[in-house]
Amino acid sequence: MKRIVLSIALISLLAAGAAMAGNPMGVRGGMSSTPDQFFVGGQMYVKELSPNLWLVPKVDAGFGDDMTYIYAFGTVLYNFVTTDLGGFTPYAGGGAGITFWSWDAPASFTAAGLDDSGSEFGLTGIAGLKKTLESGKELGFELELGLSDYTADFKVGAYINFF
């Protein structure tokens, strides 16, 4: 549990520094499958690596299915700006990071010495659509596929970035 708190604190400090530098950041939420959960989190466009290629760290917390997951991932997203789908721009990419989990194990399991929390490395693939609103905010819809153990098989969500 201490590792989770320290990791969240470190990510929060990095996010605060980037926000002060004027980087777009926002909130996200949605549903996942295997485990069946709802999730909430945040993301931030940190650095444009090349035209239309961005480094976007994300932190999500998933709740449900007798588990709590915290995903801290660095993702790289490519924007297909030459494609317009009714005002939406498609993007794709992938991410790597660490997944922290905690299982709401019955007392008899923990008394028997079974571990009810831990952390593992994870990989994901990402596809989505985004649109810049008149207010300057960015609305997006995303599908994330888990490519390793300890990531949700898939996540469907939406986000809004504040600039």
Q: How far apart are CA 41 and CA 62, in angstroms?
A: 9
Candidates 41, 46, 69, 72; CA nearest to 142 is 41
Banded pLDDT at 156 (limits 50, 70, 90): very high
Alpha-helical regions (H) of 57-159? 107-111
Per-residue model confidence (pLDDT) at position 131: 94
- Average pLDDT, whole number, for the chain? 85
Per-residue CA distances from 135 to 7, 27, 157 (Å): 33, 16, 21
Token pair 């709740």 is found at 63
- Strand locations in the chain (E): 25-33, 37-44, 47-50, 53-64, 67-79, 89-103, 117-132, 138-146, 154-162
Please check whether residue 59 is in contact with residue 75, taking contact to mean a CB–CB distance below 8 angstroms: no
Domain ranges of the chain: 2-162
Q: How far apart are CA 27 and CA 59, in angstroms?
A: 10
Q: For 128-145, what is the mean pLDDT?
A: 94
CATH number of 2-162: 2.40.160.20
Helix (H, G, I), strand (E, B) or coil at 55: strand
Banded pLDDT at 5 (limits 50, 70, 90): low
> 21-25, 59-63, 74-78, 130-134: which has the minimum mean pLDDT?
21-25
CA 8 and chain centroid, separation:
13
More confident residue, 56 or 1: 56
Banded pLDDT at 85 (limits 50, 70, 90): confident
Q: For 86-115, what is the mean pLDDT?
A: 81
> 21-25, 49-53, 69-73, 99-103: which has the minimum mean pLDDT?
21-25
Question: Averaging pLDDT over each range in 2-6, 18-22, 23-27, 95-99, which range is the top one?
Answer: 95-99
Q: For 10-14, what is the mean pLDDT?
A: 55
